[in-house]
Amino acid sequence: MTSVALLAALPLVITDIYYQHVLVICLVYVVLGQAWNLVGGYAGQWSLGHAAFFGLGAYTSTLLLLRLNVTPWLGMVAGGLTAAAVACVIAFPCFRLRTHYFAMATLAIGETLRVLFLAFDWTGGASGLVLPVQRIPSSVDMLWASKLPYFYVILTMAVVVTLLIAQVERSRVGIYLRAINQDEDAAARLGIEPRRYKLLALAGSAFVTGVTGTFYAQYTTYIDPFSVMPSMLSVRIVLVPVFGGLGTGAGPIIGAFTLIPLSELTRVTWGGRGIGIDQVVYGAIIVWLTIWMPGGVMALVRRRRGVSGPRRRDPVATPEAGVTAT
Site residues, another protein (CB under 8 A): 167-168, 170-173, 175-176, 178-179, 182-183, 185-194, 196, 200, 308, 311-317, 325-326
C-beta of 8 vs 97, nearer to another protein: 97
How far apart, in whole angstroms, are the C-alpha atoms of residue 322 and residue 7?
38
| Nearest distance in Å: CB 195, another protein | 9
How far apart, in whole angstroms, are the C-alpha atoms of residue 111 and residue 85?
18
Q: Is 281 helix (H, G, I), strand (E, B) or coil?
A: helix
C-beta of 145 vs 317, nearer to another protein: 317
C-beta of 43 vs 65, nearer to another protein: 43
Q: Is 129 helix (H, G, I), strand (E, B) or coil?
A: strand
| Nearest distance in Å: CB 260, another protein | 29
What do you get for the CA distance between the two ends of the chain, in Å? 29
C-beta of 293 vs 299, nearer to another protein: 299
How far apart, in whole angstroms, are the C-alpha atoms of residue 41 and residue 250?
12
C-beta of 16 vs 314, nearer to another protein: 314
| Nearest distance in Å: CB 41, another protein | 12
Q: Is 130 helix (H, G, I), strand (E, B) or coil?
A: strand
**β-strand partners of 223:** 129
| Nearest distance in Å: CB 189, another protein | 6
* CB 22, CB 260: distance < 8 Å: yes
**β-strand partners of 130:** 222
Kindly tell me the burial class for residue 218, based on how many C-beta atoms sit within 10 Å of its own C-beta (0-12, 13-18, 19 or more).
buried
Kindly tell me the burial class for residue 150, based on how many C-beta atoms sit within 10 Å of its own C-beta (0-12, 13-18, 19 or more).
buried
C-beta of 116 vs 183, nearer to another protein: 183
C-beta of 242 vs 281, nearer to another protein: 242
| Nearest distance in Å: CB 186, another protein | 4
| Nearest distance in Å: CB 311, another protein | 5
User: Judging by DSSP bridges, how do beta strands 222-223 and 129-130 pair with one another?
Assistant: antiparallel
